[in-house]
């Protein structure tokens, strides 16, 4: 017998459903793609939710829009601030511009040029800092010392988690027969939101997070039961360098079935494979769950597998690996 959802789980799910209605006018209902040859290569029947085709280039617009639209007029008037490696910053800048409020985004100096340009193009102020979680948090604290602004955390925020969960909500509505859902995990916003939505809609579905081996704090945390923090991991998947948030880890411990990590080589191969077979461009972070199947870290030969392609904001000028030899 499947377990009955707790009151907390039901509340979280209703927040995802409310977010879906709230953000509907502002986000794209992204397509689901599949390819028979790609499925054969990955060893399962695989379907891809193309959040790389979302407005702003990633799923992050969902959570940022939900958070900004939930602000009271008084809170919104002061503007919003956050730290980000890029995609959340772009998303928050878009959401703030649409509501007519200011946005300040703290970003590491080694952020992708494409992501830096995208944030500025949307009208937000960029404050540069040194790489790493500690430096990002310190720089944001300095911004808040001089400006009273509403913080919209990139992942450790219930409004953001609910918004990110709407991608899985759509996915399962588009493809009700999914047995397994795979998402990348950095700070945990997408994975925790996905788990909330998926487990409410189908208690038997498996939800698995995938991350780079060189930024494997989520795997370590999941296995040990204690939240592990990494400051500045070095991985090609720049969107997954964050450590799990407090709220995210609590949800993941309750609802996620497993966590796996993949090599840098597999991430590159997976990104190339998706481009060759699906004809869509993804950034390395989005390739991580594909790499989990490619390296056989997840075995699902008879399963209907869903993968959220989290983003497509790739700096082509710096992506020598894309055209290099295998």
Per-residue pLDDT reduced to its tens digit, 277-310: 999 999 999 999 999 999 999 989 889 999 999 9
Strand order in the sheet with 206-212: 32-33, 45-50, 304-309, 180-184, 206-212, 258-262
**Is residue 315 scored above 90 in pLDDT?**
no
Question: What is the mean pLDDT of the segment spanning 63-80?
Answer: 97
Q: What is the mean pLDDT of residues 255-281?
A: 97
Confidence class of residue 324 from pLDDT cuts 50, 70 and 90? low
Asked if the model's pLDDT at residue 56 lies above 80, the reply is yes
Does pLDDT of 190 surpass 60? yes
pLDDT at 316: 83
pLDDT of 321 reads 76
State the pTM of this model. 0.95
Contact (CB, 8 A) for 130 and 108: yes
When the pLDDT of each residue in the chain is averaged and rounded to a whole number, the result is 95
Fold (CATH) for 7-58+158-323:
Rossmann fold (3.40.50)
322 pLDDT tier (thresholds 50, 70, 90): confident
Supply the CATH classification number for the domain 60-151.
Answer: 3.40.50.1100
What's the token pair of residue 103?
A: 């946005």
pLDDT at res. 326: 42
Residue 148: pLDDT band with limits 50, 70, 90: very high
pLDDT at 84 over 80: yes
CATH 3.40.50.1100 domain residues, the chain? 7-58+158-323, 60-151
pLDDT score, position 320: 79
Pairing of strands 180-184, 206-212: parallel
User: What does the block give as tokens for 56?
Assistant: 């702003």
Split at pLDDT 50, 70, 90, the class of 325 is very low
Q: What are phi and psi of 32, to 5 degrees?
A: -110, 125
pLDDT digits (tens, 9 = 90+) for 168-185: 999 999 999 999 999 999
Q: Residue 278 and residue 260: Cα distance in Å, rounded? A: 24
Tell me what pLDDT residue 5 has: 76
Taking CA 15 as the corner, what is the angle to CA 119 and CA 150, rounded to the nearest 5 degrees? 40
pLDDT band at 201 (very low <50, low <70, confident <90, very high): very high
pLDDT band at 6 (very low <50, low <70, confident <90, very high): confident
Per-residue confidence (pLDDT) for residue 55, from 0 to 100: 97
Residue 62 and residue 65: Cα distance in Å, rounded?
A: 5
- Mean pLDDT, rounded, for 12-39: 98
* % the chain with pLDDT above 90: 89
The predicted pLDDT at position 1 comes to: 39
pLDDT of residue 3: 57
> How do 180-184 and 150-151 pair as beta strands?
unpaired
Sort 302 into a burial class: Cβ within 10 Å, 0-12 / 13-18 / 19+. Answer: exposed
Q: Which residue has the higher pLDDT, 79 or 314?
A: 79
């Amino acid at each position: 017998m499947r377990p009955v959802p707790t009151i907390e789980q039901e509340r979280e799910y209703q927040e995802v459903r409310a977010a879906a209605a709230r953000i509907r006018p502002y986000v794209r209902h992204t397509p689901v793609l599949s390819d028979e040859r790609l499925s054969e290569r990955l060893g399962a029947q695989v379907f891809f939710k193309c959040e790389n085709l979302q407005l702003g280039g990633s799923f992050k617009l969902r959570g940022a829009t939900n958070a900004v639209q939930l602000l009271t007029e008084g809170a919104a008037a002061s503007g919003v601030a956050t730290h980000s490696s890029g995609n959340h910053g772009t998303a928050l800048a878009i959401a703030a511009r649409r509501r007519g409020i200011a946005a300040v985004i703290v970003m590491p100096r080694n952020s992708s040029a494409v992501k830096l340009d995208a944030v500025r193009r949307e009208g937000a102020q960029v404050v540069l800092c040194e790489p790493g979680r500690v430096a990002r948090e310190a720089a944001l604290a300095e911004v808040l010392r001089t400006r009273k602004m509403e913080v919209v955390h990139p992942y450790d925020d219930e409004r953001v988690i609910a918004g990110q969960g709407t991608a899985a909500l759509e996915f399962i509505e588009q493809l009700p027969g999914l047995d397994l859902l795979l998402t990348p995990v950095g700070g945990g916003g997408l994975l925790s939101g996905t788990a909330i939505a998926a487990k409410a809609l189908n208690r038997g579905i498996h939800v698995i997070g995938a991350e780079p081996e060189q930024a494997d704090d989520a795997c370590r945390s999941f296995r040990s039961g204690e939240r592990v923090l990494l400051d500045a991991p070095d991985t090609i998947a720049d969107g997954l360098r964050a450590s799990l948030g407090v709220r995210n880890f609590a949800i993941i411990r309750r609802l996620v079935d497993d966590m796996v990590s993949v090599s840098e080589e597999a991430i590159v191969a997976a990104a190339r494979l998706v481009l060759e077979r699906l004809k869509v461009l993804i950034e390395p972070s989005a390739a991580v769950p594909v790499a989990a199947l490619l390296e056989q870290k997840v075995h699902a030969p008879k399963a209907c597998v869903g993968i959220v392609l989290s983003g497509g904001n790739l700096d082509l000028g710096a992506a020598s690996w894309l055209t290099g030899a295998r």
